[in-house]
Amino acid sequence: MGSKKIPLRKCVATGEMKPKKDMIRIVRSKEGEISVDPTGKKSGRGAYLSKDKEVILQAKKKNTLANQLQAKIDDSVYDELISLVEKE
C-alpha cells in the first residue's frame, strides 16, 4: 500500500502549491456573494490563500482575489481571513 495522496492547492497570491489543509478557501457563489469557506465544501468558484497574514495582506494590496473570482472583494472578507489566521 502506498501512502495516501495529499491534495495540493495553489495559493492565488504566491503561486505556491501547498497541502489543502494549509490553505483557506474563499468562494464566490452563483449569486456573486464572496465568503470564507473554512470547511472547503461550499459550492461555487473557489480560490485558495495560504494561512499567512502577510499573504492575505499581499492579496488584498494586489487585488489578487478579486481578479481570480471576478468579483469585488469587500474589506470585511479580508478582516475575516486575518482573524481566522490569527486564531490558529
Extract the C-alpha cell encoding 71. Answer: 468579483
Does residue 3 lie within any of the structural domains? no
- The reported pLDDT for the residue numbered 20 is 92
DSSP letter for each residue of 45-81: EEEEEES-HHHHHHHHHHTHHHHHHTSPPPHHHHHHH
Closest to 27 in 3D by CA, of 82, 55, 65: 65
For residue 2, being part of any structural domain is answered with no
Whether 29 is covered by a domain: the verdict is yes
Percent of the chain with pLDDT over 90: 76
**Residue 80 belongs to some domain of the structure:** yes
Q: Which CATH number is 50's domain given?
A: 3.30.1230.10
Residue 1 inside a domain? The answer is no
Name the residue range of residue 60's domain.
8-87
Q: Give the amino acid at 26.
A: I
User: How many independent structural domains does the chain possess?
Assistant: 1
Q: Is residue 13 part of a domain?
A: yes
User: Which residues lie below 8 Å from residue 9, measured CB to CB, with a gap of 6+?
Assistant: 17, 18, 19, 20, 23, 25, 48
Q: How confident is the model at residue 6 (pLDDT cuts 50, 70, 90)?
A: confident
Mean pLDDT of 4-29: 92
